[in-house]
Amino acid sequence: MKKIILQSWLVLLLLVSTGVAEVKLPSIFGSNMVLQRDKPIAIWGWADKGEEITVTLGDKNSAKTKADGDGKWMVKLEAMKASAVADDKGLLLTIKGSNTVTFTNILIGEVWICSGQSNMAFVVRQTNNADKAIASSNQPAIRLITVPRTPIDTPQHNFIGKWEICGPTTVPNFSAVAYFFGSELLQNLNVPIGLINTSFGGTPADAWTSRAALESVPSLKPLLDDWDKRANEQTADKVAKLNQDALKKWQDASAKAKADGKAAPQKPRPIVEAARSQHRPANLYNGMIAPLVPLSVRGAIWYQGESNVPRAHQYQTIFPLMIKNWRQDFGEDMPFGFVQLAPFRYTRNDPAMGAELWEAQLMTLKKLPNIGMAVITDLGNVKDIHPTNKLDVGKRLALWARAQVYGEKKLVFSGPIYQSHQVTDSVIEISFDHVGSGLKSRDDKPLTHFEIAGEDQVFKPAEVKIGEKKLMVSSREVNKPVAVRFAWRDDAEPNLINKEGLPASPFRTDTWKGVTEGKDY
């Protein structure tokens, strides 16, 4: 795939440099796409130096420009209202220069970037009730495009992909969270929905953040230096030799296993040179976000964090940095909704590592404006890092979007979020935001996963009394409590919810040193 992309760009650059370039556009534009409503519409591409370009959308929305000295051009068309959902013809998008490029069946509606690691990449056919979801996916007002997995060490301007109309033949291999989110929006907004799936399993948030943004934070320099050192040391020749040696070792082991009547060992995965690793900071931003800039979009949804668990404390810095980075690219006010990780033993080390990742996500929610978090402690599978219920994950993200982005103010869109606490004698009283119509236990049993500690920082199981909008936490083993922790291990499946059925986010009231502090790369 990398070779194909590189060859495509070499051809494009050759055409531009020789003065015989045809008008071209990146793959984010194409027939069947959705363009963002109620915002100026950015359209861009390449042509011959100084070539005059005319872009027309529909009957009247038109703009002209000239390609600059590098052959680049961009126009911004006037904002447009949403197309009718039942529009089966769409608009014509025409770009004229020395040649004419025409895209058909363009709709105007809501465009969302859908990104993250494997739980965002997880496709519809893998979900529970997949057959039902696929059978009911004939929703032509939803349009889908997937950006190929492209880790690379320099920012790219294009990718290989195309927009497709949502239906039983296109949905099965599309991101499940993205599809269920978009389907829920369509049903409630009644406007076309465009979904851009740009996700890659097993990847950290720093890979999705630009190099310039990462370099702006001094505390991240050791992380960047470590990867730069790896990139310099792991040359292509060295990596090829490592792969050859690993393959030979596997072949020998397989032959011996066969001779002994045993199963062959698993074939080793190829080692990727560090310079182009999907784990290297900025590499996925370069290959999978930069080609989308400066597309007009409504917002982004995000499901990621598993790969950052060992560096959860650092995630407090990287995650909001990434969001700000994207907002500079796509619009300062861009709404951003994300999924707090499901319960699972993410490492073989201290289970508090995962809880500290939850905390970093919660801190980001409280730190940045125009942001939402879907808590899914009740939707996970502690034996599987990829829980198959993606329908409710998408619905919860859509619930936030409907309430906070699209103005359905009466919706309760979040479970209880820790607000403050007060110590009175042997009891700590906890107050929450987003209590809805009240707090309760999901299974009508005593609330679980609450712990309480004194100054000795030794936590004991706690008893909890439920008030209308507060909790009273205590323990007979702790006479002078100072701190409460809730669901402070990564496989916790607590039962605190609000009466609307949305679960509470894990939290702690103390600021004692965490187990991931100082783990920066």
- What pLDDT is attached to residue 235? 86
Residue whose pair of structure tokens reads 């700000």 in the numeric block: 324
pLDDT in tens, 48-73: 999 999 999 999 999 999 999 999 99
pLDDT, one tens digit per residue, over 107-153 is: 999 999 999 999 999 999 999 999 999 999 999 999 999 999 999 99
**pLDDT of 6 above 60:** no
Q: Distance (Å, rounded) from C-alpha 197 to C-alpha 178?
A: 7
Within 8 A by CB and 6+ apart from 357, the residues are: 305, 308, 309, 312, 315, 341, 346, 490
Amino acid at 206: D
pLDDT of residue 294: 97
Predicted pLDDT of residue 439: 98
Residue-wise pLDDT tens digits, 221-252: 999 999 999 999 998 899 999 999 999 999 99
On whether the CB atoms of residues 487 and 506 are closer than 8 A, the answer is yes
Report the distance separating Cα 104 and Cα 363, nearest Å. Answer: 44
pLDDT grade, residue 1 (50/70/90)?
A: very low
Question: pLDDT tens digit string along 143-182?
Answer: 999 999 999 999 999 999 999 999 999 999 999 999 999 9
Average pLDDT score over residue span 500-514: 98
Q: What is the pLDDT of residues 249-291, one digit of tens each?
A: 999 999 999 999 999 999 998 988 999 999 999 999 999 999 9
Distance from C-alpha of 359 to C-alpha of 367, rounded to nearest angstrom: 12
Mean pLDDT of 386-413: 98
pLDDT of residue 136: 97
Name the one residue in this structure whose structure tokens are 């996970």. 380
CB atoms within 10 A of CB 243: 15
DSSP code of 147?
-
- Which of 71, 94, 76, 93 is closest to 22 using CA atoms? 71
Packing angle, helices 176-189 and 391-400, rounded to 10? 50
What CA–CA distance (Å, rounded) separates 112 from 115? 10
Instruction: State percent of the chain over pLDDT 90.
Output: 93
Interior CA angle at 518 toward 516 and 521, to 5°?
90
**10 SS3 class:** helix
- Residue 468's pLDDT band (boundaries 50, 70, 90)? confident
